[in-house]
């Protein structure tokens, strides 16, 4: 199940190779001779610094996301944006840091052009290899439900993920014969011969084998075939980045949410949150009176918006933001897309996320973190707990200004279906939270803000 990580590592190694090849070809073209060791050493150090910055920019623009790698339109758009930002950053580095011994005007331009061409060719070759050359993992599902149907559709749309669904075995729906081109077999006893003939590498289990002696016996007999067994929740999580609420129970939480093992992570996160929040508070405080004045001029009401929210372990606190909506005839119902209550200046504050800067006070108080599930209003949570299973479990961690759901690229309305999706993302974060995941979320949040998309 680590195939995607391996593919991303290959992408990164290829990009690094292309960067240095571009530099070498730049020097070769610029001086029409093989670069001397002195010429190469004078360039490789400074360019290594900017290459690291370039890779970071590509990362936050999602160019190591395999889904974007398969989408040419989005890939070209993001790559163009990345090269523009990287070029401007490189110019700033060379001309604002006099201690660097070179100021390569033409060399930098030539390097960017050569890299752009090689980068496009390399990525197209990689995409073609994923779809046409690299071998697929033949997988099979034991059991059929809505999550299986969703995964089959997802894998068909994303062949670059490297999975081929060979068949489904399900004895609960005898009338089901196929799903598109994928056959559905109703006889579990045929499982051994099907696995052998279809060269299956992984079986996805939608139900607990403990509940079926026949299934346990058959799966045990398949051990010599050297296949892997994966539960549906784990496979679904790896493919979608969400936890399938319909396919988990209380045992899932007991087996997967080892909160005691997160003690040192939570402590380090609290220290980092406090230091960063204090830094942001001090450097932005001078702007607060100006922002407040514009808010007051545009519409009557307070500068700050305060509202009760539910934090970790259902503790109530008052969230603090710059006010972005009118107060007249406002019932303070949850906002919707293109909400008419949002002021013009408020809309800009929301897109740039400046309205959320006062939440650093909540972070300094220990009520929130920078990364975590969005804090909800208590009256909404009471209603959602009655309609959505395990909704209360999202309060096992501190809420955050941004989170895994916010960078998913999807707008989620207050509907039950979208709230369920948000919970799926939140549970994924709670289970997998780490320094790496937090940094990834923060970097992608910054990229979203800079692109003007908001979060």
- 373 — phi, psi (to 5°)? -60, 150
Treating both helix axes as pointing N-terminal to C-terminal, what angle do 3-31 and 105-128 enclose, rounded to 10 degrees?
140
What value does the mean pLDDT take over residues 89-115? Answer: 71
Is there a domain that residue 152 lies in?
A: yes
Q: Are 373 and 397 in contact (CB under 8 A)?
A: yes
| Per-residue pLDDT tens over the stretch 369-411 | 999 999 988 888 888 888 888 888 889 999 999 999 888 766 6
| Per-residue pLDDT tens over the stretch 284-313 | 999 999 999 999 998 888 999 999 999 998
What is the tally of structural domains in the chain? Answer: 3
Is there a domain that residue 455 lies in?
A: no
Is there a domain that residue 252 lies in?
A: no
| Per-residue pLDDT tens over the stretch 22-79 | 888 888 887 787 878 887 887 788 788 888 888 888 887 777 776 555 555 667 777 7
pLDDT of residue 306: 93
What domain range is 176 assigned to?
A: 137-240
Is there a domain that residue 289 lies in?
A: yes
Is there a domain that residue 347 lies in?
A: yes
Length of the chain: 455
Chosen domain end from 100, 133, 166: 133
Q: Name the token pair of 75.
A: 């890939």
Residue 132 DSSP symbol: I
Same-domain check for residues 182 and 127: no
Same-domain check for residues 298 and 423: yes
Q: Name the token pair of 177.
A: 């014969």
Query: Strand ranges (DSSP E) for 95-197?
Result: 137-142, 163-169, 178-179, 182-185
Same-domain check for residues 144 and 225: yes
The CATH number of the domain holding residue 231 is 3.40.50.720
Same-domain check for residues 404 and 312: yes
Of the CA atoms within 13 Å of residue 70, those in its CB half-sphere come to 16
Q: How confident is the model at residue 418 (pLDDT cuts 50, 70, 90)?
A: confident
Is there a domain that residue 155 lies in?
A: yes
Chosen domain end from 83, 118, 133: 133
Is there a domain that residue 249 lies in?
A: no
Residue 231 DSSP symbol: E
Same-domain check for residues 414 and 318: yes
pLDDT at residue 109 is higher than 60: yes
Same-domain check for residues 209 and 88: no
Chosen domain end from 91, 118, 133: 133
Is there a domain that residue 247 lies in?
A: no
Question: Average per-residue pLDDT in the chain?
Answer: 83
| This prediction's pTM | 0.74
Same-domain check for residues 268 and 196: no
pLDDT of residue 157: 79
Same-domain check for residues 414 and 312: yes
Among candidates 375, 357, 360, 361, which has minimal Cα distance to 422?
375
Same-domain check for residues 72 and 100: yes
Same-domain check for residues 299 and 358: yes
Same-domain check for residues 154 and 284: no
Same-domain check for residues 299 and 229: no
- 413 — phi, psi (to 5°)? -80, 175
């Amino acid at each position: 199940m680590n195939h995607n990580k391996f593919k991303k590592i290959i992408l990164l190694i290829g990009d690094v190779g292309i960067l240095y090849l571009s530099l070498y070809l730049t020097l070769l073209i610029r001086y029409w001779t093989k670069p001397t060791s002195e010429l190469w050493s004078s360039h490789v150090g400074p360019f290594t610094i900017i290459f690291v910055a370039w890779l970071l920019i590509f990362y936050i623009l999602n160019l190591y996301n395999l889904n974007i790698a398969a989408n040419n339109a989005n890939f070209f758009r993001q790559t163009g944006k990345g090269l523009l930002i990287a070029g401007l950053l490189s110019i700033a580095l060379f001309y604002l840091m006099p201690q660097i011994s070179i100021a390569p005007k033409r060399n930098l331009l030539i390097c960017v052009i050569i890299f752009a061409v090689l980068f496009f060719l390399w990525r197209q070759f990689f995409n073609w290899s994923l779809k046409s050359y690299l071998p697929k993992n033949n997988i099979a599902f034991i059991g059929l439900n809505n999550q299986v149907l969703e995964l089959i559709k997802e894998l068909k749309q994303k062949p670059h993920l490297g999975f081929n669904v060979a068949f489904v075995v399900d004895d609960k729906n005898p009338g089901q014969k196929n799903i598109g081109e994928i056959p559905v077999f109703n006889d579990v006893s045929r499982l051994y011969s099907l696995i052998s003939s279809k060269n299956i590498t992984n079986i996805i289990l939608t139900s607990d084998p403990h509940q079926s002696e026949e299934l346990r016996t058959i799966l045990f007999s398949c051990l010599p075939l050297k296949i892997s067994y994966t539960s549906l929740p784990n496979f679904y999580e790896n493919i979608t980045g969400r936890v399938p609420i319909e396919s988990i129970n209380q045992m899932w939480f007991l087996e997967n949410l080892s909160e005691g093992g997160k003690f040192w992570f939570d402590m380090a996160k609290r220290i980092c949150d406090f230091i960063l929040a204090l830094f942001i508070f001090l450097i932005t405080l001078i702007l607060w009176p100006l922002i407040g004045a514009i808010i007051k001029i545009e519409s009557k009401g307070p500068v700050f918006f305060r509202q009760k929210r539910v934090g970790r372990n259902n503790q109530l606190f008052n969230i603090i933001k710059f006010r972005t909506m009118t107060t007249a005839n406002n019932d303070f119902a949850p906002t919707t897309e293109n909400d008419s209550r949002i002021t013009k200046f408020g809309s800009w504050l929301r897109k740039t996320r400046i309205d959320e800067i006062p939440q650093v006070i909540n972070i300094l108080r220990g009520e929130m973190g920078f990364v975590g599930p969005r804090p909800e209003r208590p009256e909404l949570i009471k209603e959602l707990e009655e309609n959505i299973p395990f909704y209360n479990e999202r309060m096992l961690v501190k809420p955050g200004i941004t989170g895994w759901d916010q960078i998913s690229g999807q707008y989620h309305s207050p509907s039950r279906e979208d709230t369920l999706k948000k919970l799926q993302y939140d549970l994924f974060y709670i289970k997998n939270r780490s320094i790496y995941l937090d940094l990834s979320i923060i970097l992608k949040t910054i990229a979203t803000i800079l692109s003007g998309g908001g979060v």
